[in-house]
Amino acid sequence: MRDYLEFEKPIRDIEERIEKLAGSGASRASVQEEHRKLKARLAQAESELYSNLTPWQRTQLARHPQRSSTLDYVGALCREFVELHGDRLFGEDRAIVGGFARFNGRSVMVIGHQKGKTLKERMQRNFGMPNPEGYRKALRLMRLAEKFRRPILTFIDTPGAYPGIGAEERGQAEAIAQNLLVMSRLAVPIVSVVIGEGGSGGALALAVADRVLMLEHAVYSVISPEGCAAILWDDPAKAPDAAAALKLTAQDLLKLGIIDEVIPEPPGGAHRNPTAMAERLAKALSTHLGQLAELSGEELLARRDVKYRKMGPVGEPSQPGS
């Protein structure tokens, strides 16, 4: 069963009529003609709707409960995945998963956020919001990848790092900061993909990469639209306005030079055709990994340094009269 978002009502109405017509079992020429017309209307409606989505509508698609997760993509793209657990300091955080796997015959380290599918699993995985031990687990795995000279693939899909008291007491900010520092100096290729929601430092802690990719309807921002609206206007209902102001869509971020590629999604979003989405993602990852594999560790570090220094350049203020 497909879950429809509020703005997808026109699509839902047409699809329900198509299903009802197909379920009638009628084979008359008039019925077949009506079915053909409805199919044409559906294709036109999808083209018009999904080619003109607002930033808020893209945010809703990025959060869609049926959207593929990190483990879905690992299962579709990789072989011989061996999940590794724990940060060797405090415990296991199921909001982040990772381990060695084989991608296109190449041994890689895969790490990503995992929100969960059912309510029970979402609670076990803290709705994809990691605690410090999750980031420290990711850091341990990235250092392990560097030790064995393995490329790193990360999948970003989180509302943000967990803001609970326990997380703060165990050093949430320090854990994220350590990831940023270490990822900037790892001498192995790193490719990150925002597959859904990329929220704040909780996302950035896995995204200091040589190449940062985003799915077409994913979002990536310093704060959620609801959080931004609550701070600026004291009104979460203004989330659509905040989403537009934040420039959080893949298209905006590509123009700003924050990401390196937008991967098109199937009509209606990645969840409508997970197989096709996985194939497109595999092609993009293979291309970028192949390019990065030709570079030495020194070249990777030099280019990564230039990449991030180019973001948000700040100049000296001009002097009066100059």
What's the rounded Cα separation, in Å, for the pair 59 and 217?
A: 7
**Per-position DSSP letters for 169-188, written without gaps between them:** HTTHHHHHHHHHHHHTT-SS
In a domain, 316, yes or no: no
Identify the three-state secondary structure at position 212. strand
pTM value is 0.90
Claim to verify: residue 178 and residue 34 sit in the same structural domain: no
In a domain, 51, yes or no: no
- The pLDDT assigned to 18 comes to 81
Determine the longest span between alpha carbons in the chain, in angstroms: 83
Claim to verify: residue 13 and residue 68 sit in the same structural domain: no
In a domain, 202, yes or no: yes
In a domain, 322, yes or no: no
Of 91, 301, 286, 310, the C-alpha closest to 193 is: 286
Claim to verify: residue 33 and residue 92 sit in the same structural domain: no
In a domain, 169, yes or no: yes
In a domain, 112, yes or no: yes
Locate 66 and state its tokens: 């049926």
**Per-position DSSP letters for 40-103, written without gaps between them:** HHHHHHHHHHHTS--HHHHHHHHT-TTS--HHHHHHHHEEEEEE----SSS---TTEEEEEEEE
- The pLDDT assigned to 313 comes to 67
Helix (H) or strand (E) holding 132: helix 132-147
Claim to verify: residue 283 and residue 245 sit in the same structural domain: yes
pLDDT mean for each 10 residues of the chain (322 residues): 83 84 65 79 85 93 94 96 96 96 96 94 94 97 97 96 95 96 97 96 96 97 92 92 95 94 93 95 96 95 94 68 52
Round to the nearest angstrom and report the end-to-end CA distance of the chain.
65
Identify the three-state secondary structure at position 318. coil
Claim to verify: residue 160 and residue 38 sit in the same structural domain: no
In a domain, 258, yes or no: yes
What's the rounded Cα separation, in Å, for the pair 115 and 168?
A: 21
- The pLDDT assigned to 186 comes to 97
60, amino acid identity: Q
- The pLDDT assigned to 30 comes to 66
How big is the chain by its Cα radius of gyration, in Å? 22
What's the rounded Cα separation, in Å, for the pair 23 and 76?
A: 32
Report the DSSP pairing between strands 190-199 and 219-221. parallel
- The pLDDT assigned to 62 comes to 95
CB 159 within 8 A of CB 198: no
Claim to verify: residue 39 and residue 85 sit in the same structural domain: no
- The pLDDT assigned to 16 comes to 82
**Per-position DSSP letters for 262-287, written without gaps between them:** EEPPPTT-GGG-HHHHHHHHHHHHHH
Report the DSSP pairing between strands 96-103 and 106-113. antiparallel
Claim to verify: residue 117 and residue 179 sit in the same structural domain: yes
- The pLDDT assigned to 231 comes to 92
Of 241, 218, 242, the C-alpha closest to 228 is: 242
We report the CATH number of the domain holding residue 269 as 3.90.226.10
Locate 76 and state its tokens: 């579709």
Claim to verify: residue 67 and residue 128 sit in the same structural domain: yes
Domain, as residue range, for 296: 59-309
Claim to verify: residue 16 and residue 77 sit in the same structural domain: no
Claim to verify: residue 36 and residue 100 sit in the same structural domain: no
How many domains does the structure of the chain reveal? Answer: 2
In a domain, 50, yes or no: no
What's the rounded Cα separation, in Å, for the pair 104 and 101?
A: 10
Claim to verify: residue 159 and residue 245 sit in the same structural domain: yes
Which neighbouring-strand residues pair with 192?
Answer: 154, 212
Of 192, 158, 195, the C-alpha closest to 67 is: 195
Claim to verify: residue 124 and residue 236 sit in the same structural domain: yes
